[in-house]
Chain A
Amino acid sequence: MEYVIEMLGIRKEFGNFVANNNITLQLKKGEIHALLGENGAGKSTLMNVLFGLYQPEAGEIKVRGESVKITDPNKANDLGIGMVHQHFMLVENFTVTENIILGSEPTKLGAINIKDAAKDIAALSKKYNLDVDPYAKIEDISVGMQQRVEILKTLYRGAEILIFDEPTASLTPQEITELIAILKLLIKEGKSIIIITHKLKEIMEVSDRVTIIRKGEGIGTVVTAETNPDQLAELMVGRQVEFKTEKGEAHPTEEILNIENLIVADYRNIDKVKGLNLSVRRGEIVGIAGIDGNGQSELIEAITGLRKIKSGKVTLNGKDITGLKPRDITETGLGHIPQDRHKHGLVLDFPIGHNIALQTYYKSPISKGFIMDYRKINEKARQVIEEFDVRTGQGEMTPARALSGGNQQKAIIGREVDRDPDLLIAALPTRGLDVGAIEFIHSRLIEQRDKGKAVLLISFELDEVMNVSDRIAVIYDGTIVDNVYPKETSEQELGLLMAGEKRKAKAIKEGNE
């Protein structure tokens, strides 16, 4: 059997922490090999070892049967290893061609030869059915297209082995389908692929074999055709996992949030929310489904008081909160799990305990007017940490920065839920988290609903919206284009609604009936 890459018994330590221990991953030529593991399991560390960003403490790496030492990413490039990062490394106001040749610009008589490069790129794009315009500017093309530029970049540099880090994280359902087709075409052309992911559905659909790691340990490699999502989840988490969070019927009562004709501009003063109407009632979870950039961020920031409202009216708990300060809105009964946990959710330099006090620090019993009672803060923090299963190294004194993404998120959710707000806004609450943490967070959201509170969930993940929401409001170009119910809709219909194809979506629905 021919292996193009063999990572044998890899061990990587950071101080006293073992990120990878005795992990073996063997990539066959022409296969799609999934690397599966929870957040913080050591997937990225392992791939960074392969890409030359880290040096392993023990173990051997073989490329095409030969033992190699990959000292830096350039060496990896020379060995034909290319990486498509989760966060694209592109210069926004450069063209596709300029981005691809960046760092290895072809020259003709000392001047950069864009024309020939563009021709090569167009040819590559055609060969792999990528449909990329070499002269398009990055800022003008969609996220899916940008990802293809990243793929082209690795191909242009002669990569034979492509590593994809969470490639579907920011794609729409249609884009995901297209990406999978591209992956299969790449294989057909003789490339080999490693795909890092924790989305089991995609693994089942696209991969040939799966290597699972858990808490830094290699658990083993299985053939995709001989396994199923339940088994994979169990291997990854180490226990049985429920996928569809159990929940009963919703019993919505009185209206708690009402938004009328809301118009909000972004930082460039371009309208992003364009006359939006929305109503959320007690006892229901309303999911906002939509592609990133259709006004979701501006909508949340407007409701929470972080962004100016141009016109329209927002009512919370019967009180007009339009234009109020964030604290006044919070006190009216709002909890907010922010979209970006590092930007808004946490003060990363504070211990996690101080972060848990972020919304209540000025109130008794924590603040006695002028003096803070840090003992009370720590008491509260320990309670939230315990109740929300936040795994920390040194309890409430652990720096927030040192926590994994999932545990940071659990701490934020703990902080917000603990205040028991009438309306909880959860913006991308499970972004980048693994199935175990997702399951936990979903059940907490449903618990709030069952207590008669309202939840407004914003998500780019269709699965999440479909599973958790009682009602789905589809946002497109700054307005809610339709309200649908999870039981009566399909991913296809939602996908089309999210893309602004309301008429097509209707046609499909009627065709089905």
Chain B
Amino acid sequence: MSNRVVNILVPLISVVLGLLVGGIIMVVSGYDAIDGYIALWNGIFGDAYSIGNTIRQITPYILSGLAVAFAFRTGLFNIGVEGQLLMGWLAAAYVGYAIEGLPRIIHLPLALLAAAAAGAFWAFIVGFLKAKLHVHEVIASIMLNYTALYLTNAAIKSLSDGSFKTPTVLESATLRNQWLREITDNSSLHLGIFVAILMVVVMWFILEKTTRGYELKSVGFNKNAAEYAGMNVNRNIILAMTISGVFAGLGGAMEALGTYQNASIKAAASGIGFDGIAVALLGANNPIGVFFGASLFGSLKYGALNMPNAAGIPEEIVSIIIAVIILFVASGYILRVALEKFGKKKEGK
């Protein structure tokens, strides 16, 4: 079996197997699996409104996935995407409502830039600690996740005079777009998806086309060889982390300027950053792969919301089913080995 075929078959079979096991779970718990999956399907693709909201859900996943994947490709585990995303979220919201009188063509990019810078700064701290003081990036970034959560909460509180959310971003800074809303039956689809797709290209370009990308990958794969070749390992670690933070920060901007139009106090992390780890792994840390991984992840997440209403399946069961499907996709490696064995046996005969 050729590699290409295996590469396409593995995710497909994984999804089918995941759906099967998810179905079994529904049946065992006493629900109609067919009804459940019809509800899931309709929740994702049922009408223009669902499609619009599904795409809206996918958008931040693409960016958090890119953030994790970029770090992985350069030899780092950025588990701090969550915190970087929250920082970007607040920065975008603040610039979005606090700066008045700018035309949209300046204000919107400025708000996006602020989010990117905030995420980058939060990630830079992690990279700096790792490069200069050998603090492991996982520890630093986990701690900074908490810091970001409470810092943004406190900031929102004081910015809004004790309320739980910032003022709504101005018309000149929003990612909302009337036309997109109209064609999707008033869903909350916004322009962010184009930003996300652009970033997919940007990540690919940095890694595959630039001199710096060559260095970043070398440092990621083999620090010793990079040092031997005269690369500055520490500077590249800091840079890799910072670029990863840019993607994460933009993920926050999608929520601030697109979906919610503000930043609000959160009891716990948004989860988008952590889900980014799964998205990156689903996409094999490849920018195009991340796009598809995010699409699967976002679709299931959004579509599943329809299952309690349309099929009467409790949310908890729905969460289990979604988790099972993702688990199967993520453990594609096992399937890959099985397929290769199967392929070899067939060739032998």
Contact = CB atoms under 8 A, between A and B. Distances in A.
B225 A343 contact: yes
B211 A345 contact: no
B214 A354 contact: yes
B211 A369 contact: yes
A358 B121 CA distance: 30
Given A15-B344, A327-B230, A359-B230, A346 B225 contact: yes
Q: Tell me if B's interface is mostly helix, strand, loop or mixed.
A: helix
Interface residues of A, number: 31
Contacts of A328: 230
A501 interface: no
A82 interface: no
Given A15-B344, A330-B230, A349 B221 contact: yes
A347 B210 contact: no
B131 to A, nearest CB: 16
Interface string A359-381: 10110000101111010000000
Contacts of A15: 344
B185 interface: no
A306 B221 CA distance: 18
B225 A358 contact: yes
B228 interface: yes
Nearest to B230: A327
Contacts of B231: 327
B316 to A, nearest CB: 41
Nearest to A361: B214
A200 B213 CA distance: 46
A348 interface: yes
Contacts of B225: 343-347, 358
A350 interface: yes
Given A370-B210, A372-B210, A306 B222 contact: no
B218 interface: yes
Interface string B202-246: 000000011111110110011011111111000000000000000
Contacts, number: 69
A374 B217 CA distance: 15
Contacts of A148: none
Given A15-B344, A359-B229, A347 B211 contact: no
A325 interface: yes
B210 A371 contact: yes
B230 A346 contact: no
Interface string A311-334: 000000000000001111010000
A349 B75 CA distance: 12
A490 to B, nearest CB: 36
A344 B224 contact: yes
Interface string A154-183: 000000000000000000000000000000
A218 interface: no
A326 B211 contact: no
A361 B211 contact: yes
A304 B229 CA distance: 10
B228 A326 contact: yes
Interface residues of B, number: 21
A283 B112 CA distance: 61
Nearest to B205: A371
A107 to B, nearest CB: 38
A347 B218 contact: yes
Interface string A65-86: 0000000000000000000000
A371 B209 contact: yes
B231 to A, nearest CB: 8
B37 to A, nearest CB: 38
Contacts of A338: 228
Given A346-B222, A347-B218, A350-B218, A372 B213 contact: yes
Contacts of B212: 370
Contacts of B213: 372
A336 interface: yes
A455 to B, nearest CB: 19
Interface string A428-463: 000000000000000000000000000000000000
A359 to B, nearest CB: 6
B222 A372 contact: no
Choose among B212, B215, B221, B228 the residue with the greatest number of A CB atoms under 10 Å from its CB.
Answer: B228
Given A306-B228, A345-B228, A362 B221 contact: no
B218 A372 contact: no
A321 to B, nearest CB: 13
A361 B211 CA distance: 7
B230 A372 contact: no
Contact of B221 (A345, A347, A371): A347
A262 to B, nearest CB: 20
Contacts of A372: 209-211, 213-214
Contacts of A325: 230
Contact of A326 (B218, B221, B230): B230
B224 A358 contact: no
A346 B225 CA distance: 6
A40 B137 CA distance: 40
Contacts of B227: 306, 326, 344
A344 B209 CA distance: 24
B211 to A, nearest CB: 4
A235 to B, nearest CB: 32
B222 A347 contact: yes
Contacts of A343: 222, 224-225
Contacts of A306: 227-228
Given A346-B225, A372-B210, 20 more contacts: A15-B344, A57-B348, A326-B228, A327-B231, A328-B230, A343-B222, A344-B224, A344-B225, A347-B221, A347-B222, A347-B225, A348-B221, A349-B221, A349-B222, A350-B221, A359-B230, A367-B211, A370-B211, A371-B211, A372-B209
22 contacts: A15-B344, A306-B228, A326-B230, A327-B230, A343-B222, A344-B224, A344-B227, A345-B225, A345-B228, A346-B225, A347-B217, A347-B218, A347-B222, A348-B222, A349-B221, A350-B221, A354-B214, A358-B218, A359-B229, A369-B211, A371-B209, A371-B211
Q: Which 10 A-B pairs have the closest CB atoms?
A: A327-B230, A344-B228, A367-B211, A326-B230, A349-B221, A358-B229, A347-B222, A347-B221, A343-B224, A344-B224
